[in-house]
Structure 1
Amino acid sequence: MSRFPIIRIITKLLIPYILLFALYVQFHGDYGPGGGFQAGVIFASALILYGLVFGLEAIQRVAPPRIIEKGMALGVLVYAGTGVLTMSLGGQFLDYSVLEHHVLTQWHVPSGQHLGIFLVELGVGITVASVMTMIFYAFAGRKHAHDT
């Protein structure tokens, strides 16, 4: 793609807006359309676009595979951790109503329902963005039989 400077420049201009839109979808997903899955896919699409235009090595310097692997686990831990937290507070798995009447209200944290949905959607977003990026790494990094 180094022969196409316009594509490279347009990509550099678009990526911040794609990432900003992903954050918008993530943080407003509990109020309207969107949420963690959509935000994760949008975020990963920005990384994948960067990788398609600038190459696999460039994207792996920006988002190393080791960090992406940790992101996959972190997202699942945030999701499951929210459920374990609600169970430890006396509710059922992902019963956000128990978050309403506990220590969290002393720290001016949003209502229990809002906080629970936010944490679950955050976990989903991190997981989806990481998994989609790792799938791109797997496909973009594979060698053809005639390349060896």
Structure 2
Amino acid sequence: MINQTESPIIEIAGRGLAPVIQLIGIYVFFHGHYGPGGGFQGGVLLAAGVILQRMSLGGVFSQKMFPSSSSLILCAIGCVLFAGTGVVAIMAGGYFMDYSVLPVQWMEPAYLRYYGILFVELGITLGVMTGLIAIYDNLAGIDHAGTN
């Protein structure tokens, strides 16, 4: 569904539910340090909010909220952030994703693990969210300019 829906109920529901879904996605991302969930689940929820806007508001109008041209770039940045955190740990003499050896001298190992997990979760969230949006845009026939 590329064009804007003609049903005012679906349009209002899409406008109302999408921000709530995205807020829950942000909560799941930040809660990933302490419990189940995190990067993948948060990324899927954030993507679901954007895809709901694309489906209810149409491809062209929803481009103002999240343009298709930035989805692949942000997906690559998320993948580099995820993998880069592990590679930096290997270069510092540890194992892949061994956050306690990250080369930040003034931080304690507990804080290094905390921020290491945060960077990994951020990379996963960004990669999953923008990857799913790019897949939807490709399947819906929305090009990088936001047109059909």
Match of 1:76 in 2: 79
Match of 1:9 in 2: 12
For residues 8 and 31 of structure 2, the distance between their equivalents in structure 1, rounded to whole angstroms, comes to 35
Q: Is the 8 A contact 1:56 1:141 kept in 2?
A: no
Q: Is the 8 A contact 2:14 2:57 kept in 1?
A: no
Rg larger for:
1
Q: Is the 8 A contact 2:5 2:58 kept in 1?
A: no
SS of the residue aligned with 1:91?
coil
- Alignment size in residue pairs: 139
Instruction: Kindly report structure 1 stretches of 4+ aligned residues shifted beyond 6 Å.
Output: none
Q: Is the 8 A contact 2:100 2:110 kept in 1?
A: no
- Percent identity reads 39
What are structure 2's unaligned runs of at least 5 residues? 143-148
Q: CA deviation at 1:11?
A: 1.7
RMSD between superposed Cα atoms in Å: 2.1
SS of the residue aligned with 2:62?
helix
Q: Alpha-carbon deviations, 1:38-84, whole Å to 9, x = none?
A: 01100000011001101112223322222101111000111111112
Match of 1:18 among 2, 17, 21: 21
Match of 2:53 in 1: 50
**Taking structure 1 as reference, are residues 104 and 6 closer, same or farther at Cα in structure 2, changes over 3 Å only?**
farther
**Taking structure 1 as reference, are residues 110 and 43 closer, same or farther at Cα in structure 2, changes over 3 Å only?**
farther
Please give the TM-score of this superposition, normalised by the length of structure 1.
0.84
Alignment partner of 1:89 is 2:89: no
Q: CA deviation at 1:113?
A: 1.9
